Structure 1
């Protein structure tokens, strides 16, 4: 067992109250999994739709010559690349049905996986068209660049391609780490400008999308969907929600050195529809913080009039909001994420949490309907100062009949372990802490490097993917 067991509450499972049957979690999971897989498959296959429409509306005839074939492959590359970019915008729009089906993390994973293929396809589009047009006109590709720049709408196409290169390059992990979250987010707003810049040349150059064709209708619909989703869910809905709920900071409470809880008041906050474990994008309207947006989980379930988040000072952005004055107006986007009780598929619940990762877990535990003995929680901290909200977790666990273990100490410097050396040497493992791990949904939340080690052990122990739920504090 962990080296420091602060409290342990255990009880034999008891029948649920009459009229409150246990939900068939596995059946619910299977339905969600099928819907999620179909949605992801549809997103990827939209590229095939773009190719099929091109070939079906006269594209086949363009392969009659070598120059025509090169040009046609360039057109296909451009169509699929643009399709992927528009799909990425739909995923980035945080559409509620997508978020509730596949979750924010998986949506962003698909979003990132489309980035490089989209860029490579658009670069191939430009290169192949220069070669193909040059072969047709009998000029070299470099000279063809100047010819295309003289065509109306084409300069905007080159600008759009340049903007997309900037966006994709700044998404590489090594490059992204050099940016603040706000700076990186600002750069990614260029993707919207890039898409808009590409519209005129796609509709006018070369007659590819002829007036009245099914292909033209498809592309206009896809542009409307992508840009409409961005406008609706990233701008209009957050503004309307913020004005409706009229959220303001009530007080800022120090929890530990560098950690504060921000208590907020508002109107009809339960109608935000948030679940324990979800997060919002918060913006605090002061002169120092208005341009920062903060993805932060609720650390307690909202009432009609009150909400709370708990924040650790991990940089300029999070540090500045610890000093905001009472009365500050707050706007928000969300809720987002599937780190909730709704994602469960197994009869038991296991939780491993470290540091400020306690925040979504605290709200998750508060809202989850648990039978006595159903849940086991391991609280992890490097030292006593990192035991944020542990007293609240322990109090909730006592009320719900959950078992709580604690583990305090610096992570071992040798070996790939997520626990202190003393515990690792004594053979402590996920299976020793959670004997029913195979029958449990495992929720892990904390710093990314630590979380990756816990996740690796869970996978090595044979835990199925659908029983593993993670929440990383990075972007």
Structure 2
């Protein structure tokens, strides 16, 4: 059956302070996102423009030169896109704070196939162009380049590595592979880039000393490598050493669901991250190398002014990796990266807020509810589960709603079919829609966290109710 629990704001409650100017914050963030998009595409144009400025257009004077020139252009654009892909996964605050981690990864994936096709076209067109000039077929030319030209074999190896990475990243293929295998193969992206770089500077004098091209490509290669080294390696090591997190206890919350409590230092630096996620590595035998993306399920609790305190994540047994976490021993050290993402107050654009969570996706909603600013009566929380037992941390959410003056609905019951599949079947039959629970949703920020298909249904319902794209904030589980 469907159950709905609604809490009204007590008339005697003191009103919470008004939050920050969210509309101005949203405009600033969207402007930064647009600026980053312009810079990204400008870098592609700039790479080609520099080649033309250094006399590249002269290659189009003959058939052989035309093929070679087109191949060079394809290679320049393809390599520029590859470096953009690496920057998108470098977890830099500039990109993460403007578009969010999920959207950055979405762009990263979309660039994968075009980059590969351009690099393949680069190799094929250059082989055809050189072959015409030397009277060889393309295959014979490739063999000759492999045998006779220094560093060319590295470029061919690089193409092979790129093919392996892109093929294993296709959704239908990735779902069939163990995560560990896919993760190791994906690390080959760095090897593919490293093996592609030498021939750019040594073959044909394309980036000869004294040219602007040479300085441009040196600069962006060094900048990309530095960003990856700093944000993917150095910062996590510093954060792990600084916070000194250890597991204090593992608390069962429901069948297959546990809360992992950790203690550490300087946890005041992590306060206000409610909803954002961290990458956790539990330094136990057989587990230390496996990264787990989990959000905090509560704001850190500080023991003293020095920042010593306790924080908590809540996880569900969804496979071998998460099943191991239910057996963690107290005292286990923890490495940490983050926080990442825009599932937080940083994404707010309105004073009103609607938070919708299902299953284990309720836990980031609980943390967000605890920390994001709103006045009593300006927040609505919807929790979805097949039963009350699947409304994880539901009692804590109820208490927070009472304390902060939010309206709470429990939506339980069997799943419905069709366009309103995010709602339980009895609610749909009763004519309920999203606006039935949140009539002001068209003027509210909407935070959605839960299984992917369910979340897509909620997003569609929010759009139908009048919410615009900048108001929709969704935390993905499948990246």
Do they superpose with TM above 0.5? yes
The CA deviation at 1:9 is 3.0
- Distance (whole Å) between structure 2 residues aligned to residue 416 and residue 380 of structure 1: 13
- Distance (whole Å) between structure 1 residues aligned to residue 276 and residue 59 of structure 2: 51
- Distance (whole Å) between structure 1 residues aligned to residue 18 and residue 383 of structure 2: 30
- Distance (whole Å) between structure 1 residues aligned to residue 400 and residue 380 of structure 2: 12
Say if 2:167 is the partner of 1:163. no
Out of 57, 73, 93, the position equivalent to 2:90 is 93
The CA deviation at 1:11 is 4.9
In structure 2, what is the equivalent of residue 451 of structure 1? 455
In structure 1, what is the equivalent of residue 355 of structure 2? 351
Equivalent residue of 2:219, what SS? helix
Equivalent residue of 1:404, what SS? strand
Out of 416, 422, 446, the position equivalent to 1:418 is 422
In structure 1, what is the equivalent of residue 106 of structure 2? 109
- Distance (whole Å) between structure 1 residues aligned to residue 15 and residue 27 of structure 2: 24
In structure 1, what is the equivalent of residue 135 of structure 2? 138
The CA deviation at 1:111 is 1.1
The CA deviation at 1:121 is 0.3
Say if 2:360 is the partner of 1:333. no
In structure 2, what is the equivalent of residue 8 of structure 1? 7
Say if 2:295 is the partner of 1:297. yes
> Relative to structure 1, is the Cα distance of residues 273 and 377 closer, same or farther in structure 2, using a 3 angstrom cutoff?
closer
1:176-228 deviation per Cα after TM superposition (whole angstroms, max 9, x unaligned): 11123333222111000100011111110111111121111110111111111
The CA deviation at 1:371 is 1.0
Larger displacement relative to structure 2 (206-215 or 405-414)? 405-414
- Distance (whole Å) between structure 2 residues aligned to residue 391 and residue 146 of structure 1: 68
Say if 2:24 is the partner of 1:27. yes
Aligned 8 A contact 2:245 2:264 in 1: yes
Equivalent residue of 2:204, what SS? helix
Equivalent residue of 1:174, what SS? helix
Q: Map of 1:45-444 to 2, 5 A cutoff?
A: 45-150=42-147, 151-272=149-270, 275-303=273-301, 304=307, 305-413=309-417, 417-444=421-448
1:206-265 deviation per Cα after TM superposition (whole angstroms, max 9, x unaligned): 111111211111101111111111111111110111011111111111111100100001
1:92-133 deviation per Cα after TM superposition (whole angstroms, max 9, x unaligned): 110112111211112112111211110110010011011011
> Relative to structure 1, is the Cα distance of residues 382 and 143 closer, same or farther in structure 2, using a 3 angstrom cutoff?
same
> Relative to structure 1, is the Cα distance of residues 16 and 52 closer, same or farther in structure 2, using a 3 angstrom cutoff?
farther
Aligned 8 A contact 2:386 2:414 in 1: yes
Equivalent residue of 1:82, what SS? helix
- Distance (whole Å) between structure 1 residues aligned to residue 13 and residue 285 of structure 2: 54
- Distance (whole Å) between structure 2 residues aligned to residue 153 and residue 189 of structure 1: 22
- Distance (whole Å) between structure 1 residues aligned to residue 61 and residue 13 of structure 2: 75
- Distance (whole Å) between structure 2 residues aligned to residue 426 and residue 271 of structure 1: 47
1:430-474 deviation per Cα after TM superposition (whole angstroms, max 9, x unaligned): 011111111111111100011111111112223110111111211
Equivalent residue of 2:3, what SS? coil
- Distance (whole Å) between structure 1 residues aligned to residue 18 and residue 368 of structure 2: 20
Aligned 8 A contact 1:346 1:441 in 2: yes
Aligned 8 A contact 1:273 1:335 in 2: no
Aligned 8 A contact 1:445 1:470 in 2: yes
> Relative to structure 1, is the Cα distance of residues 226 and 260 closer, same or farther in structure 2, using a 3 angstrom cutoff?
same
> Relative to structure 1, is the Cα distance of residues 257 and 417 closer, same or farther in structure 2, using a 3 angstrom cutoff?
same
- Distance (whole Å) between structure 2 residues aligned to residue 66 and residue 322 of structure 1: 65
The CA deviation at 1:13 is 11
Aligned 8 A contact 1:182 1:293 in 2: no
The CA deviation at 1:414 is 5.7
1:8-30 deviation per Cα after TM superposition (whole angstroms, max 9, x unaligned): 2335798856xx55432112211
- Distance (whole Å) between structure 1 residues aligned to residue 341 and residue 83 of structure 2: 22
> Relative to structure 1, is the Cα distance of residues 148 and 404 closer, same or farther in structure 2, using a 3 angstrom cutoff?
same
Equivalent residue of 1:302, what SS? strand
> Please, which runs of 5 or more residues in structure 1 have no aligned partner?
none
- Distance (whole Å) between structure 2 residues aligned to residue 372 and residue 21 of structure 1: 10
Equivalent residue of 2:260, what SS? strand
Equivalent residue of 2:239, what SS? helix
Aligned 8 A contact 1:16 1:22 in 2: no
Q: Cα RMSD between the aligned structures?
A: 1.7
- Distance (whole Å) between structure 1 residues aligned to residue 188 and residue 12 of structure 2: 54
Equivalent residue of 2:54, what SS? helix
